[in-house]
């Protein structure tokens, strides 16, 4: 019922996002049947995907990106709950790449671990090679 179309769209996105998160929480707390759990997962995915799909209707690109960053963890949670590991790790990798060296790592070892994760280099593969002398294969 809002007159400003962009604000109306934003509010619809937030409402769908909120409903999606409620269903995710319900899945986490459910103690009864698999059927109910599957229904809640489906509903959560439905609302979060609808919110994500509606982002393209926003005319402000900056606002689109901001709201996508808010919605993305919910989509990743749905992938986790559905055990869609490929999609889950792709979303996680994208999040890590975006946060690299943007002040979100608290210590140098966090930054190194993040770089290794993005490059798909496990600490065991790195072995005892000193970081200052490490070159990628």
CA gap 115, 132 in Å, rounded: 14
What's the token pair of residue 27? 């899945």
What's the token pair of residue 25? 């929480």
Q: How many residues does the chain have?
A: 137
**Beta-carbon contacts of residue 62 (< 8 Å; ≥ 6 apart):** none
Contact 55, 13 (CB under 8 A): yes
Taking the domains of the chain in order of start, what are their residue ranges?
5-94, 100-137
Tell me: the pLDDT tens digits for 4-21? 888 888 889 999 999 998
What's the token pair of residue 47? 């609302």
Tell me: the pLDDT tens digits for 114-133? 666 666 666 565 555 555 44
Could you report the average pLDDT of every consecutive run of 10 residues in the chain (137 residues)?
A: 79 91 83 76 90 90 89 89 86 77 61 66 58 46
What's the token pair of residue 72? 């993305």
Contact 22, 57 (CB under 8 A): no
């Amino acid at each position: 019922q809002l007159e400003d179309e962009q604000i109306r769209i934003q509010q619809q996105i937030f409402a769908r996002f909120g409903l999606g998160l409620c269903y995710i929480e319900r899945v986490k707390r459910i103690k009864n049947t698999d059927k109910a759990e599957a229904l809640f997962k489906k509903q959560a995915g439905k609302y979060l995907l609808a919110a994500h799909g509606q982002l393209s209707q926003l005319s402000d690109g900056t606002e689109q990106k901001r709201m996508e960053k808010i919605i993305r963890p919910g989509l990743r949670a749905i992938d986790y709950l559905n055990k869609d590991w490929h999609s889950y790790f792709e979303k996680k990798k994208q999040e890590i790449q975006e946060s690299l060296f943007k002040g979100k790592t608290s210590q140098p070892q966090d930054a190194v671990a993040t770089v290794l994760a993005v490059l798909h280099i496990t600490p065991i593969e790195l072995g005892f090679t000193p970081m200052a002398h490490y070159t990628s294969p």
